[in-house]
Each structure stands twice: as C-alpha cells, then as structure tokens.
Structure 1
Amino acid sequence: MAGGGPGCKNHCHGPHRPHLHNSHGAPGDKDLPGPYPIVEDLSTCDIVKATQYGIIERCKELVEAGYDVRQPDKENVTLLHWAAINNRQELVKYYISKGAIVDQLGGDLNSTPLHWAIRQGHLPMVMLLLKCGADPSLIDGEGFSSIHLAVLFQHMPIVAYLLSKGQNIDTTDFNGQTPLMLSAQKVFGPEPMRFLLKFNPSLNAVDSIQKNTALHWAITSGNTSAVDLLLEAGASLDIKNVKGETPLDLAYQSPNRLMVYMVKEEERIRNRRNSGVLKIIEKYELFLLVASSLTFMWALGYIMNSSSDSWLLKGGLLLVLLFVMTIFVRQFVGLKNLRYLPTAFLLSSVFWMFMTWFFWFLPDVSNIILEITVMFSVVGFLYYFYKTWRTDPGYIKTSEEERKENIAALAEAGCLDFRTFCTSCLVRKPLRSVHCFACNSCVARYDQHSLWLGQCIGIGNHRYYLLFLSFLTMTSVWLLYGTLLYWSDHCVTSYDQDGAWTYFTQIMQCSPWVFYIFSIACFHTAWASSWLTVQLYQIAFLGLTWHERMNLLIQRKTSKHPVSLRRTPYNLGCFQNLADFFQCSCFGMFKPNVVDWTKQYNLFHLTKEKNAHSV
C-alpha cells in the first residue's frame, strides 16, 4: 500500500497517498470549490484524486458519466473513504445520495469511512457520517471500534460526541478491552483518562484474554498518571488476572518507585478505612487537624518560653516536636484534607493571638473602645472566614444528562472547542471561568485557589474574601499594638536609650511567648495587607481577577504585540468597577451591572455596556 493511510499499520495519520488530505482538509474546513491545487489537467483527473482534492465538479462529471460510487479501487478503498479522510463533506453527501455504502469496509485495516475520519480527528465528518447512518460500534481490522480509535488518537471532542450520542463507555474491542483499559495501556498523560472517568465507566471490568482491569494495564505499562487517577477513582487492588496477579502484585514487581509508593499509600489508606477506630478518626480528620495544629503552636511557644537557657536543648525539643507533628499528620490526615493544613495553622495562630491579648495584654488596657475594637476585629475575622469558606464560589453545575445534551448541541453548532469546553466537568466554560484541579470543578469569574482557606475564590465568595483579609489585617495590627504596650510596661529596656540590638534581645528575654506571638502577627499583617492591596488595585483599576492579570502578564512577555492590562472588556473605570464588584449603587451615584458569570459566554453584551459607560 503506497504512502500509508488509515489503512496502514501502527496507526499512521497520513492518507493513502501522501499529503493529499491536507489540501483544504483540516478539521472544520468547508468544501470550498476552489482554487484547486494544480496537479494535472482537471479534465483528465481521475475520480480518486478529484475526491482527495475536493474537486466536486469533476467528481460529479465522472459519476454522471457512469462511475459506480460503490466501486473500490485496486487497494479496496472506496470514494467515501477518501472523502471522509480529507473532510470533503459535500462529496460525502453526494456519494451517499448516489448509493455509496456508509459502512463499507476497506483498506489494509478493513476500516469504515467513519474509522478513517476519526483517525484524522475530523469531528464535522464524524457527525455527518453518524447522521447518515454510520455504525460506531463496528470493529476495524485491528479490533477497534470508533470510540477506541478516538481515545487512542486522543481526539477528545470526538470521544465526547460519541458518548453524547449514546455510545457505551464500556464498549469492548476485539480483545474485550474497554476504552478505559486502552487509555490506561497506551495513552500516557492525564487525558483522556480523566475525561473518561467523568462518564462513570466500570473500573473493575476485565478484558477477555488477560483478565486485566484498567489498573492492571496502567501498572504494566508504567502509566503513572493513569494509576493515580484510577486509584483516586476507587479501582480495586485485589482483582486477579489470568496469572493470578492482583494490581498490588504487579506494582511490587515494577521498577517505577513512584508507582510502588502510590499503590502502597493507597493500600494503607484503604486498610485504615476498614478499621472501626480509624473510620471514626477519618470522620473527624479536619477537627483533629485543627486540634493538632493548636497543640503544636502552643508547644512551640511553650518550648521557647521555657526557663532553660540552653538554646541547644530548645532546638532539639523543637525538632522532636516537628517530627511528632509530621508523623501524626501522615498517619491520621488523608491526602484529601492535607490541603487544609495552612488553614489549620491560620486558625490556630489567630486563636493564640487572641488568647495572648486576653490574658497578657487586656489586664493593662483601660481603654474600653480599644477592647471593643479588638473584639470586633476577631469576630469579623471569624465570620468572614466562615462565609468565604462555606459559600459556593461559583461552581458550574450540570446533570449528566444535561452534559451530554450540551456536548451534542455544541458539536453540531460547531462550538465544541476545547479551549472553551472543560473536559473535566463536561461543560462549556463561561467567560472568566477556570477549572480548578484542587476543587475539581469549574469556577465562575475565578480569582485563585486560596492557600489559607483551601477553597476557591470566585464570583460567589470574592467579596467575603476581601473582608476576611481586611479583618485579619486589623486583628494582626491590634495584636502588634498590644505587644508594644506590653513591652513598654513590663520590659525594663528602652529602644531610645539602649539601641536596637539590646532592645531586641531584652524583649525576647522579657517574654519569649509574647515575642513568638508578635512574630506571627507580623507575618499575618505583612501577607494579608499586601494581598488586600493587590486585590483592591486589580479590582478597582483593572477590573480583572488575579488569574486574568497573571495570564495577561504572561502574554505581555511572550506576545509580539503589545498587551494592555487596562484595555480589557471588563475595565469600566475605577468607580464603576468597584460598584459592579460590590454591587453597590453608592447612594444612587452609580448603577451596578448585574452579570450572571455562570452563564455569560460572549463579550457582546459586555462591550455594549462598556460603550454606554464611556459615552
């Protein structure tokens, strides 16, 4: 077979004759009538070449002259195959109207035109052939059905469309392998495995020959990302294949140390879930994490505040404390809740800051307004922390049936573009939304995934987040003020008289605990106030989220054309930006725009609003 094509071995991408399918043949191209490449006299061009190049007039002329469209060429390939691989949609319609068999097998691999179109990733052609009655369940000469080929070549829009039109996610090939197994065995990287898992495939189905599950195949192939995703999805570690080997047995034989660690860790976690006591511990993991963080921070300050003058002893105790905390977290906190470790530290530090104020500083404070202000700051911090953490940040939610309907509708409208369609959530992404892999969801008007909250910041909780930062800054500043009052009343040293170094050493010795809390308050004041300033600047003067701003800065460095942070459709001017963000009319001076960012897909409406404001 000359040149190689969809009928060639090893999954070649090229057509039957080299490069012909690239002429007006990219996915989504229309069947333009010309200009045609000048390869020979059009009046003498044979029908196969005319089909490859999409010369519709010549094809019609030869068919009307008596050429049988069902007649295969010497390599057993029909005209419909050539039209399909080169994405000649008008010719496909014409040939079928003239009696072409839509599921005709041909080529070295005994493939249908649908198989050829899928190998090349021509989604419009796939949709056309299915509408014309093509059977996606037919198996080619290599034993693959349509969905297997789409997975193998990682044409995810085609996979999505086939599933939306009712193709079974657990369809088996000639060897009894499902698309999930094929992805685990031959496709490295998280896609399309993560995508397939969204359709709830059978994790523990086995093939008909080796009796391997998808996890068996992933481990055997050394596909680390597939192993990670399958373990997270709950694939069994105990199913035996035809040789009596479980995925666990195969993992222990693997030279891939990371894979061995992943499987061992998953086995440890699952064994823990089978223990009655450990089940209770798992239920209260977050509570244990906060309690252990509170204890750790108290113990840290207690060691520093101890009467021993040996810093070597204190250093040794601190290392032991750190080791014990590490072991505790590893044994009793799962990976899912480990992201809340900074959150536990934040809450613990604010708790001990408040305790220090209450027991160390308050007895010396006679100003009732100061006492009320500090209490107000702490209560405000706790309230807006809770509101930010518990409020839906703007997750894009749809049912499984709605997802399939959306995929089919978008594909048929020519809008199934994976730059705007999320393969993880199976939804069309609205403007300004981003898929957060930590939360495993798309978030409307996404700003960031907050380290300190373990939660996404989006349209639903962004205002609460700013107030959380504000009250954290206020609380920390009042704590700093309290430490200065404490040192002035309880420490004999004076900065003006003794100098910086003496003053520093004396206040440390005066009360190491207070100095410890002072350091924590300095840390929180620095990051919270800085981050609050950045947030307010980009909201008021740019009308952008943090994620959008970072993307534009990256574009500015890589793009040959100038990229402006201020000239965006979202920047309506400082006061209007603030009015829109806080949804505040400022006593009637502004009219805030109400935009549902969970359903906003185009800029037309926003551009009109911007023009109206500029006028």
Structure 2
Amino acid sequence: MEGAGRECKNHSHGALHHHGWHNMYEDKDLIKEQDVLPFVEDYSNFDIVKATQYGLLERCQELIEAGYDVRQPDKENVTLLHWAAINNRLDLVKFFISKGAIVDQLGGDLNSTPLHWAIRQGHLSMVILLLKFGADPALIDGEGYSSLHLAVLFQHMPVIAYLISKGQSVDTTDRNGQTPLMLSAHKVIGMEPTRFLLKFNPSIRAVDNVEKNTALHWAILAGNVNAVDLLLEAGSSLDIKNVKGERPLDLAHQTKNRVIIHLLSEEEKVRDRKTSRFMKILEKNEFLLLLISSLILIWAIGCVADLNSDSWLLKGSLLVFIFVALSFFARLFVGFNKLQYFPIAFMLSSIFWISWTFFIYFLPNLSGTLAQLPFFLSIVGVLYYFYKTVRTDPGYIKTTEEETRKNIINLAESGSLDFRTFCTSCLVKKPLRSMHCHSCNSCVARYDQHCIWIGRCVGVGNHCYFVLFLFFLTMMNIWAIYGAILYWSEHCTTTYHQDGAWTSFTQIVSCSPWVLYVFALTSFHALWSALLLILQFYQIAFFGLTSHEKITLWRQSKRSKHPISLRKTPYNHGCLQNLADFFQCRCFGMFKPNVVDWTKQYTQKFHSLMDQDVHPV
C-alpha cells in the first residue's frame, strides 16, 4: 500500500516499482483472489485494516458497529476506503461509504484518493464504483497527477477509455501543465498508450507550463522512437520551439539519437515535398504512375526476351538496367505507402498485355464467334467485378464519437470491455465475426481477408463480388492459355511426341519468346486465382466460414486436445443453403436466404468456441 509498511501474519506486502513510482504496496502477496482466504488464522481476531484487506465484510460490520470510526485514518494517514479500493473490495467500499467514508479522502505518502489507488492497480470495476459515488477524477495527487495521468502511467487502457468517456478531458494537465499525451511520450517507452490516446484526438500542439515542450519534444528527450513515429504520423509540428528556442530536430541532434534524427529529417523532406505544386500533382497521381511503371516493366521484360540476340549477358544487363531505372523512378515519384499497391498494378498490367497478346497473336487461330466470345466475356467480367470489389464498402464498422463514448461506458459497466467486444484501435464495439484489419486500419464486418490483389479488405459488403472477380479472372487466364497452345500448334514445326520435350521447348522459345513470356504470366495468374477461387467456394459451401474463421478454427483445433469439426459451427446451414445465404439467391423460390446485418450483429448467441475465435485482436 501507499506509504503503509504494514505486515500481516505470514503475508508481506511487496513494494510496487513502476515508472519511478514507489512507497505504494500491492496486495498480490496478501491475497491472490477475493474469494481465497487463509485457513490457519482466526478471523475473529483480525483488526479492521486486515479484515478490509481480506474483504471480510461481516468482521468489518462487527467492528464498525462496535464503534470504530470509518473515517479514522491509521498512523500513516491511510483510511479504510483506501485499503478497500486498492484491494478491489467492492462490497466494502459500498458499506464504508454508507457509513460516512469520504470518497475523495487524501491519504498516504503520495496524498492520493481511493480512486487514485484503484487506478494504479487497474481495478476498472472499482473505478466505476467510486465515480458513481461521486469521486472526482480531476483531483491532483501528491506527485501532481490526475486520475487520467495515472491511468496513462500504468498503461491501463480500459481505465483511460472509461475516464475519457465519462467526461475527463484528454488534454487535462497535471501540476506542471503536462497533458496525458506528453506524459505517455516521456514516461512510457513503446507504442502504447500513446497510440491509444491519439485515437481520442488530443492536442498535439499543446505545450507544458515549464519547458514549453510539445509531446514530440518529450518523446525525443526520452528516446521514445515509437512515440516519435506515432506523433509524426499524427501531424505533430516540427517548427514549435520550447523555452530554450529548440525545435524537435534541434533537440534530436542534442540527444544524438540517430534513429530519431533520421525520422525527423525524412518527415521534414516529405512535408517540404507536399508544399511543392508539382509534387502535389504527382501525389494525386501516384497510383497512375505506379500502373504506368508496371506496364512498362512487363513490356520491357518481354521485349528483352524477344530480342534476336543470343547473348544472355546482353539480355541480363538490359533487364538489370530496366529494374534499376524503374526502381529509381518509383522511389523518386511514388510514395512508400503507395508501393503496397504494386501487386494490383502488376495484375492490371498483366491483364492488359495478356489481352493485347490474345487479340494480336491468338485471335486469328480461333475460328468462329463461339470460340472468341468466352474471352471477351471474361475480360468484361474481370474488369467489372474488380471495380465492384474495390469500390464497394467491405463492411467497415462506423460509429460517431457519442456512440463510441456510450459503448465504452456500457461495456465497462457491464464488465465486457475487452478485446473480444471492443476494438482499441477503432474505438468501436465489435460485431460478431468482425476483425480489425491493420492494413486498412478499420474493423470489417464478417472479415474474410485483406487481399493484396485488390488492395483492400474482403468483407460482408464485397465478398460476393470478390468471388465473381476470381471466377472471371480464372476463366480469362484459362482461355488465354488455350490460345497460346493453339498458337504453338499452328506456328511451331515440331511436336512433343515426335521430337521430345527439350526440342519442343526450344522450338516454342524460338517461335515467339513474347508468347512464352505472356504464357508464363498467364499461368501464374491462373494458378493463384484458381486456387483462391476453389478455396473460397469450398469454405463457403461446406462450412459457411470466411477464410479468417477457417484458419483460426484450424489453429485452435491444432492446439486443442479435442478435435474441432469445422462443419459444426453456428454458421453452417448445409451446402446449398450456405451458397444461397452467401449469394442471397432465392433460385426462383427454392431457397430462403438468411439475411443478417453483420455490421450490427452483437447479441446473437453462438457456441462459446466460435465466440472466442471470431473475435481476435
């Protein structure tokens, strides 16, 4: 306990040391759980402090009825309410307050209230109870910290969320004028709770009263690289000077932290680029530049392969030059965050050159409209369903600031404020089957995957379009492979049966290296799209599960001693019904699809195993 060097028989309190905090003693050695009591002692001999520590309500009632003053502090100015708060004795707190205990009584060496003690221990239920009885979270303790500052120091995210939702300002200041964000950046090394606080839109330009430092200044002084990165991403100013006239970069040079100096220098360059009109135009068209680069890259590789020269050294040198030149171009004109879309640009460029090759090389070998029509339909289907998949909301969970605060309060007061029901990144109540996607930085309803080939999440809103996109892409590639085989049969003079594999291969290469190159591209795209399509149909039809749910259940089954059947889930309604539910298809009245709004489905009860597995962090 705080400044209370008390000992109970056979039980000693260990001092808690955390971020410079001391003189506060924890009850973990005294008692591990509220309901576990020692079997060797006579409770009737316990004094009221020890009875409070152990949560002995009847003994406390007996002593208070005998005349003990509930407001009476001990010799170290610690009251019974303090002891009950730090040990999370909810019933005793209610009883003591009913007998006249002062909710905001200051006590101990750190001159703290019971609420301060409960927050240091992370007892959310006790925090909720004390606030209901009128505890003031804005009160400053002996070291100058408010309740929110303490929650930040001890990294109790649920307590932080609850205090802010109950109305405590995220920019409240301590005795020195430091906000919780400054304190987190300075005292807590790592990403949390700095990242968590930024979700509540704190002021990143605020300065303290003494040093006039921003949160970024404090992070630099502490060498907190993660906090520096987060604050730069949030848009912290690089120009604000502290009381000594030092900008963040000046302070970084003084600390000689090379990583932070690099981060600040690069951020300064990026921001300078954004002020340039030319760079603004480039930034708006970064994906177009990436797509053009990919088109040129695929074309250039094919052209090099199609050269008449037999010198592999020459061809290799040309390929290296092309890669270096395009890499330099991408680094110079395409932002790092856009490079994640290279797989999309590569796929679209491949579709363009596959289509061009089909029309120029393969189409003359396909006689009749019926032989040509499937490829045209496949191209239209691919482009249409790619557009629908990318442009349709996959099921992002949206909420207002007011709804967020209400959800936090309701979940906290019901004892359900945990990662399965609440997303600490999006600050939203998580529906069933949803998951937070770190690439999109959003929670997605009925999450399936984040697909690199479309550059966004696949969820309840666009899952059907995604499957149809895969279907038409597979058909297009299969038809292009068929066209290549017909082209070789018409233009190559050798056959596999007559001349063997190697002679046939060399003849195919000599016929047209470009066709062989496009055939390789087509085969690659056909392989991944077909495998993904088969997997999607299999898990949808036979299990009624998403990719994420299937993988999670499979991993859970591997860890469990008892095998878990993927078929026995609350989402599996039989093969035909699963397909009808997925495509929302009635088949002329033969089926009645189940309609569920997964963006708002919170209360439906499923098997406990699924409740665990479909709500990952």
Q: TM-score range by the shorter chain?
A: over 0.9
Q: Which residue of 2 aligns with 1:568?
A: 569
Partner Cα distance (1:265, 1:8) in 2 = 34
Q: Is the 8 A contact 1:422 1:429 kept in 2?
A: yes
* Residue in structure 1 matched with residue 529 of structure 2 by the alignment: 528
Residue type at the aligned position of 2:140: I
* Cα 1:168/1:391, change in 2 over 3 Å: same
User: More displaced, 221-230 or 286-295?
Assistant: 221-230
Residue 38 of structure 1, CA deviation = 3.8
Distance 2:545 2:251 in 1: 50
CA–CA distance in structure 2, aligned partners of residues 520 and 369 of structure 1:
25
Aligned amino acid, residue 20 of structure 1: L
State the partner residue of 2:454.
453
Native 8 Å contact 1:431 1:597 kept in 2: yes
Identity %: 65
Map residues 95-244 of structure 1 onto 2, 5 A cutoff. Answer: 95-244=96-245
1:328-370 Cα offsets, whole Å, 9 max, x none, are 2212222332221110111011011111111222233322112
Q: Distance in 1 between matches of 2:413 and 2:582?
A: 36
Find the aligned partners of 1:542 and 1:185 in 2 and give their Cα distance. 50
How far 1:265 sits from its partner (Å)?
2.8
2:418 matched to 1:408? no
1:603 deviates by 3.9
Q: Deviations over 1:20-48 (max 9, x none)?
A: 35340xxxxxxxxx674346322221111
Deviation at 1:588, TM superposition (A): 2.7
Correspondence for 2:296 = 295
Change (3 A) 1:250 1:322: farther
Worse-superposed segment, 398-407 or 174-183: 174-183
CA deviation vs aligned residue, 1:171-224 (integer Å, no higher than 9, x gap): 112222211112222323332222211111111212223322222222332323
Q: Structure 2 CA distance, aligned partners of 1:290 and 1:100? A: 70
How far off is 1:14 after superposition? Answer: 6.8
SS in 2 for 1:242: coil
Of 32, 44, 57, 1:22 maps to 32
- C-alpha distance 564-356 of structure 1, shift in aligned 2 (>3 A): same
CA 1:472–1:260: 2 relative to 1, 3 Å: farther
Q: Please state how far the C-alpha of 1:268 moved relative to its aligned partner.
A: 2.1
Which segment drifts farther, 423-432 or 230-239? 230-239
2:10 counterpart residue number: none
Alpha-carbon distance in structure 1 between the residues aligned to 2:95 and 2:523: 75
Greater shift after overlay, 76-85 or 556-565? 556-565
Q: Give the secondary structure class of the aligned counterpart of 2:522.
A: helix
User: Normalization by structure 2: what TM-score?
Assistant: 0.92
CA contact (8 A) 1:393 1:457 kept: yes
Evaluate the alpha carbon distance shift between residue 285 and residue 18 of structure 1 in structure 2; reply closer, same or farther with a 3 A threshold. closer
Residue 485 of structure 2 is matched in structure 1 by: 484
Change (3 A) 1:183 1:17: closer
Deviation at 1:605, TM superposition (A): 7.4
What secondary structure is seen at the aligned counterpart in 2 of 1:169? coil
Contact 1:6/1:107 (8 A) holds in 2: no
In the alignment, is the contact (CA less than 8 A) between 1:254 and 1:260 conserved in 2?
Answer: no
Aligned counterpart in structure 2 of residue 11 of structure 1, from 8, 12, 21: 21
**Corresponding residue number in structure 2 for 1:427:** 428
| Equivalent residue runs for 1:6-405 within 5 Å | 10-11=20-21, 15=25, 19-20=29-30, 22-24=32-34, 36-38=37-39, 40-252=41-253, 257-405=258-406
Gaps of 5+ in 1: 25-33, 608-615
More displaced 10-residue stretch of structure 1: 37-46 or 320-329: 37-46
| CA separation of 1:67 and 1:324: change in aligned 2, threshold 3 A | same
Question: What is the SS of the residue equivalent to 1:90?
Answer: helix
The one-letter code of the counterpart of 1:37 is: P
Q: CA deviation at 1:561?
A: 3.4
Q: Deviations over 1:214-241 (max 9, x none)?
A: 2222233232322222111111122222
CA distance in 1, matches of 2:289, 2:23: 55
Q: CA deviation at 1:255?
A: 5.8
Shift in alpha-carbon separation, 1:464–1:429, aligned structure 2, 3 A:
same
- Tell me the distance in 1 between the aligned counterparts of 2:109 and 2:19: 8
Contact 1:22 1:86 in 2 (8 A): no
- Structure-2 change in CA distance of 1:42 and 1:596 (3 Å): same
Q: 1:520 to 1:13 in 2, by over 3 A?
A: farther
Identify which range, 95-104 or 392-401, moves more after superposition: 95-104
Alpha-carbon shift at residue 142 of structure 1 (Å): 2.1
Is contact 1:494-1:503 (8 Å) kept? yes
Q: Go from structure 1 to structure 2 and tell me whether the alpha carbon gap of 1:259 and 1:555 turns closer, same or farther (over 3 Å shift).
A: farther
Contact 2:19 2:188 in 1 (8 A): no
The question of whether the paired residues in 2 share the 8 Å contact of 1:13 and 1:120 is answered with no
Contact 1:15 1:85 in 2 (8 A): no
Displacement of 1:64 after TM fit? 1.7
8 A contact 2:165–2:405 mirrored in 1: yes
**In the aligned structure 2, how far is the partner of 1:262 from the partner of 1:502?**
57
Q: 2:611 corresponds to which residue?
A: none
Equivalent position SS for 1:340: helix
Match of 2:562, SS state, is coil
Aligned residue pairs, count = 598
Contact 1:185 1:221 in 2 (8 A): yes
CA–CA separation in structure 1 for the residues paired with 2:169 and 2:40: 44
Q: In the TM superposition, what are the counterparts of 1:500-511 in structure 2 within 5 Å?
A: 500-511=501-512
**Quick one: distance in 2 between partners of 1:110 and 1:208?**
23
Q: Distance in 2 between matches of 1:21 and 1:208?
A: 42
Instruction: Name the residue aligned to 2:600.
Output: 599
Q: Give the secondary structure class of the aligned counterpart of 1:435.
A: strand
Partner SS, residue 108 of structure 1: coil
The aligned counterpart of 2:519 is 518
Deviations 1:398-433 (A, max 9, x none): 011111111112212222123321011111111110
Return the alpha-carbon distance in structure 1 between the equivalents of residues 481 and 33 of structure 2. Answer: 71
What secondary structure does 2:43 align onto? coil
Matches of 1:55 and 1:570, distance apart in 2: 47
Where does residue 30 of structure 1 map in the other structure?
none
Please say which of residues 62-71 and 487-496 is displaced more in the overlay. 487-496
Cα distance per residue 1:225-284 (max 9 Å; x no partner): 222221111111222223333222344556655444433332222111011100111111
Question: 1:548 and 1:16, CA in 2 relative to 1: closer, same or farther beyond 3 A?
Answer: closer
Distance 1:367 1:255 in 2: 73
CA contact (8 A) 2:16 2:23 kept: yes
Q: Is the 8 A contact 1:393 1:456 kept in 2?
A: yes
How far has the Cα of 1:125 moved from its partner?
0.8
Match in the other structure for 1:475: 476
Q: TM-score, normalised by structure 1?
A: 0.93
Aligned to 1:611: none
Counterpart-to-counterpart distance in 2, 1:13 and 1:390 = 58
Partner secondary structure for residue 216 of structure 2: helix
CA RMSD of aligned residues (A): 2.1
Shift of 1:445: 0.5
Structure 2 CA distance, aligned partners of 1:388 and 1:379?
A: 14
Conservation of the 8 A alpha-carbon contact between 1:469 and 1:528: yes
Amino acid at match of 1:321: I
Following the alignment from structure 1 to structure 2, what is the Cα–Cα distance between the partners of residues 276 and 9? 47
CA, structure 1 residues 253+532, in 2 after alignment: closer, same or farther (shift >3 Å)? farther
Q: Which moved more, 1:11-20 or 1:246-255?
A: 11-20
Instruction: Give 5+ residue unaligned stretches, structure 2.
Output: 6-12, 609-617
8 Å Cα contact 2:274/2:280 also seen in 1: yes
The SS at the match of 1:442 is: strand
Distance, in Å, in 2 between the alignment partners of 1:12 and 1:471 is 66
Preserved CA contact (<8 Å) 2:16 2:26 = yes
Distance 1:397 1:566, change over 3 A: same
The amino acid across from 1:475 in the alignment is M
CA distance, structure 2, for counterparts of residue 452 and residue 434 of structure 1 = 20
